[in-house]
A and B are shown apart, each in its own frame.
Chain A
């Protein structure tokens, strides 16, 4: 039970990108009276990233920053307006029915609310068997063996005791284990976890994160971990993307992001994440004024400029900053770092 969370995977990674996003844009059309065009919600606006097998990345942002839209687009639950999602060399949105089925088998999805993600009228066994049935495994015994195997992997032991239980008979942590087991049962290569621990008690959060980390290492999975909680990210991901108002504003390794924070918004996020410390009582936290912008009419230039203390007039409010390279694959979209290369 004392597995290290932050150990890096020792497995050599092949140089093939399992997932590639290219200038991805996801807009939702707004309609007046149900038919008249009234603008777009720019939920994801120009996001590019690459993910290799065995890599874990975290996407951090506040609610409304487009994290979930981005994730849903990767899972092909949304259609991108522009740009492409490429999985294993194939454009996800161009997949035909058979290829789509293949794609679904290779991508696992861990939902935020474990109870809401499971049908309340199905037992643990039938919940876990369902993906196997859909994937065409007809042999009952084989299905049973695989269910048992995956349950052991998520440490739901003794397996027999849980197989016939219904979701409401399990604790929150156990429910989330079953959801993870369901995502893992078809041996995916990519796991997308949308706030997998935010609904859980503090005392079990770490347990679930360690489990995910273990699975990632033993199966050499690529994992996208979506969260708003910076404190849990650092125990899980090597690489962190910070999202604000539909754009990625900073990407860096975990230690760079915390020790060499560049973007003013990331600074604010880190400052607002408190550690248990009795001194906190006497100090006010430094919070930027205002609220995240509307994604229908986002501000010109840098989207954070109306709330930013370091705003450069005539620059930040007119031109969108490109990604400046701070070395060690630390990229920041902020004009304060203009002297660094693009």
Chain B
């Protein structure tokens, strides 16, 4: 079983230290991902999606507090590696990231070609020529004209910059790419273009993706599996067919109902209230306060109920799925 999983995350925690106490941004996250699949992590802002990406890739800010759990990348347990080993063996070699607002994450004073070639030079010890050849190959792959290699980021449009950022994440041929809101700053047509590109890359290069987004409509363009995050925890993992038609967790259902749709007459609804503070999250189910299906049991921490590959963390499914 373990061989075909590209990543397995077990009880991953990342807390930040603030003057008011630790912020439990990622608090016991579990999931795993089969090779050449894409998992979409959805949730409201402030639920810890970006922190999860940072925790997986060990890009920790200075105020990081507790950081624990286990992350297996294929057969390597990455959490036991030292920072230097991690940098050499994992980051950008096996696993890379397209950051949020990737268009602004490029270095404005370096030509984009150099930026895309740099991971090759650093990690594979190739000379500049070979690295540029590889960068040119990647540019073709993501649909950027090769003569753009010598341009500066400001000379490219937003969509092109996003493609360059994707090229940078793919240049070393990683097993897993984490995309953090890759299209939220882009126009509709450009967004559709980028998703077409990601689909093609997934088919051709057999890459696996973790896509982090709050936009459920566009996430359906790439999702094989959907993981719903709420207040630092994952509350549901479901196959996309199940999730988009009939999600299990009450929060997922509300989230789906809040999506404005173009092609149906249904009125969208909204979720009353706001997510809890992550400094002192409520005991028991963290969504209970906003949940319309809440009952006495919800004041206790809900266990995970397994339905084949899917699972849900909600008391409503007691007795239905296999408790883990």
A328 within 8 A of partner (CB): no
Contact B260 A278 (CB under 8 A): no
Bound-complex Cα distance A273 to B190 (A): 11
Question: Chain A residues with Cβ under 8 A from B192's Cβ?
Answer: 271-272, 274, 285, 287
A281 within 8 A of partner (CB): yes
Contact B45 A201 (CB under 8 A): yes
B127 within 8 A of partner (CB): no
Q: Size range of the interface on B?
A: 35 or more
Contact B189 A278 (CB under 8 A): no
Segment 246-278 of B: residues with Cβ below 8 Å from A: 254-256, 258-264, 267-272, 274
Contact B240 A281 (CB under 8 A): yes
Closest-by-CB residue of A relative to B222 is A281
Bound-complex Cα distance A206 to B196 (A): 28
A277 within 8 A of partner (CB): yes
Bound-complex Cα distance A235 to B259 (A): 12
B223 within 8 A of partner (CB): yes
How far is the CB of A82 from the nearest CB of chain B, in Å? Answer: 28
Contact A278 B240 (CB under 8 A): yes
Do A270 and B262 contact each other (CB < 8 Å), given the known contacts A1-B272, A63-B187, A281-B224? yes
How far is the CB of B191 from the nearest CB of chain A, in Å? Answer: 7
Q: Size range of the interface on A?
A: 35 or more
Annotate B213-225 by CB proximity to A: 1 below 8 A, 0 otherwise. Answer: 0111111111110
Contact B270 A278 (CB under 8 A): no
Contact B258 A203 (CB under 8 A): yes
- Inter-chain residue pair count (beta carbon < 8 A): 126
Bound-complex Cα distance A116 to B286 (A): 31
Contact A291 B217 (CB under 8 A): no
Do A235 and B240 contact each other (CB < 8 Å), given the known contacts A272-B189, A274-B218, A275-B262? no
Closest-by-CB residue of A relative to B157 is A291
- A204, A206, A276: the one within 8 Å of B216 (CB): A276
B289 within 8 A of partner (CB): no
Bound-complex Cα distance A107 to B157 (A): 34
Bound-complex Cα distance A272 to B262 (A): 11
Contact B221 A6 (CB under 8 A): no
Closest-by-CB residue of A relative to B200 is A284
B86 within 8 A of partner (CB): no
Segment 29-68 of B: residues with Cβ below 8 Å from A: 44-45
Contact B263 A275 (CB under 8 A): yes
Contact B274 A171 (CB under 8 A): yes
Contact A272 B45 (CB under 8 A): no
How far is the CB of B161 from the nearest CB of chain A, in Å? Answer: 12
Segment 159-180 of A: residues with Cβ below 8 Å from B: 171-173
Contact B196 A285 (CB under 8 A): yes
Question: Chain B residues with Cβ under 8 A from A275's Cβ?
Answer: 217, 220, 259, 261-264
Contact B220 A202 (CB under 8 A): no
Bound-complex Cα distance A63 to B221 (A): 22
Contact B189 A281 (CB under 8 A): no
Bound-complex Cα distance A193 to B7 (A): 44
Segment 186-234 of A: residues with Cβ below 8 Å from B: 201-207, 210, 228-232, 234
Contact A278 B188 (CB under 8 A): no
Contact A201 B188 (CB under 8 A): no
Closest-by-CB residue of B relative to A5 is B267
Question: Chain B residues with Cβ under 8 A from A273's Cβ?
Answer: 188, 217, 262
Contact B189 A62 (CB under 8 A): yes
How far is the CB of A57 from the nearest CB of chain B, in Å? Answer: 18
B245 within 8 A of partner (CB): yes
- B216, B221, B254, B262: the one within 8 Å of A230 (CB): B262
A326 within 8 A of partner (CB): no
How far is the CB of A136 from the nearest CB of chain B, in Å? Answer: 37
Contact B189 A276 (CB under 8 A): no
How far is the CB of B33 from the nearest CB of chain A, in Å? Answer: 15
Contact B274 A235 (CB under 8 A): no
A269 within 8 A of partner (CB): yes
Contact A202 B187 (CB under 8 A): no
Bound-complex Cα distance A270 to B217 (A): 13
B244 within 8 A of partner (CB): yes
- B158, B243, B260: the one within 8 Å of A235 (CB): B260
Contact A202 B258 (CB under 8 A): yes
Bound-complex Cα distance A204 to B240 (A): 24
Query: Nearest 6 pairs between A and B by C-beta?
Result: A272-B192, A207-B270, A62-B187, A285-B192, A231-B260, A278-B240
Instruction: Pull 12 A–B residue pairs with CB atoms less than 8 Å apart, ordered by A.
Output: A173-B274, A203-B271, A206-B268, A235-B260, A258-B262, A273-B217, A275-B261, A275-B264, A278-B240, A280-B220, A284-B200, A285-B192
> What is the interface of chain B, defined by CB distance below 8 A to chain A?
44-45, 157-159, 187-193, 195-196, 199-200, 214-224, 240-241, 243-245, 254-256, 258-264, 267-272, 274
